[in-house]
């Protein structure tokens, strides 16, 4: 649905304003859809992002600083998220032997198993964006990259 109809706004100052509102609205919509798909598994989108980062590092541990660098949501508190995942037994924490001030985080088998389940379920979430062709998705990625400079 067109953004103007979606938010019940007939006019915009210009196409750039409309684009910005459209991106913000679409981001919120995608985040809500993603959150809903993760809710039955008891994890948030930020926790899911950390688990994916840790799976990419596996079997090597990751420091909290590395997680912060790679997180999609830069406003999230990585230490708090790691602790929530630890309580769910999806990750383990250990003092880094090379730097006792740093904490190593590693994904557990339970965390890897959860990601495998979510990978299979991802197709239902991804269908939300499948109305774009591969070519259109590539073009949109290019335009979004260009927008960020």
Does a structural domain hold residue 22? Answer: no
Residue 86: per-residue pLDDT: 97
Q: How confident is the model at residue 131 (pLDDT cuts 50, 70, 90)?
A: confident
Sequence-distant (≥ 6) Cβ neighbours of residue 25 within 8 angstroms? 3, 6, 7
Q: List alpha helices for 7-127, DSSP H.
A: 15-38, 45-57, 64-70, 78-87, 109-126
71-81 pLDDT, tens digit each: 998 888 999 99
C-alpha span between 67 and 54 (Å, rounded): 8
C-alpha span between 146 and 135 (Å, rounded): 17
Residue 82: per-residue pLDDT: 96
- Number of domains making up the chain: 1
CATH for 57: 1.10.10.10
- Counting Cα atoms < 13 Å in the Cβ hemisphere of 118 gives 24
Total-model pTM: 0.86
Boundaries of domain holding 71: 42-147
CB atoms within 10 A of CB 82: 22
53-94 pLDDT, tens digit each: 999 999 999 999 899 999 998 888 999 999 999 999 999 998
């Amino acid at each position: 649905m067109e953004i103007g109809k979606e938010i019940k706004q007939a006019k915009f100052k210009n196409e750039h304003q409309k684009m910005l509102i459209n991106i913000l609205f679409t981001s919120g919509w995608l985040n809500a859809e993603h959150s809903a798909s993760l809710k039955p598994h008891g994890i948030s989108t930020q926790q899911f992002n950390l688990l994916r980062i840790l799976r990419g590092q596996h079997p090597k541990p990751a420091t909290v600083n590395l997680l912060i660098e790679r997180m999609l949501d830069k406003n999230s508190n990585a230490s708090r998220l790691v602790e929530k995942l630890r309580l769910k037994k999806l990750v383990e924490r250990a003092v880094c032997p090379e730097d006792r001030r740093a904490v190593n985080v590693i994904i557990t088998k339970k965390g890897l198993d959860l990601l495998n389940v979510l990978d299979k379920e991802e197709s239902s979430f991804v269908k939300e964006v499948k109305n774009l062709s591969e070519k259109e998705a590539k073009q949109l990625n290019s335009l979004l990259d260009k927008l960020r400079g």
